[in-house]
Amino acid sequence: MPVAPLSQKEIEDRLAELPGWSLDGDRLTRSYRLGTHFAATAMVVHIAQVQEELDHHSDLTLGYNTVSLTVHTHSAGGAVTEKDFELARRVAELAHAHGAR
């Protein structure tokens, strides 16, 4: 099922509700720093579970204690959609629960 791209105004309005998230071209991005490599790895596993639940998968990178995401919707031609913001909101909740900053 196709998903409609959001307008620039819609993207800006939604970003205002997600501290730390930003728009890089046509993708949402965010990095989180955690206390240890183990904590960052655990967060990656939890993000993967949410991605499966939403059937929406982002680019996800694990550094030593840093988790970085790049999010966009392939089925919308790589544009930003409401699906991306749903994933970003869920990741932000996970990050808070994991004590990420």
User: 75 vs 37, which has greater pLDDT?
Assistant: 37
Q: What is the mean pLDDT of the chain?
A: 95
pLDDT per residue over 55-77, tens digit each? 999 999 999 999 999 999 988 88
Enclosing H/E stretch for 31: strand 27-33
Residue type at 26?
Answer: D
Strand, coil or helix: what is 51? Answer: helix
Q: Is the pLDDT of residue 25 over 90?
A: yes
Confidence (pLDDT) at 75: 84
More confident residue, 78 or 93: 93
pLDDT at residue 1 tops 60: no
Q: Decide if 58 contacts 34 (C-beta within 8 A).
A: no
Size (the chain), residues: 101
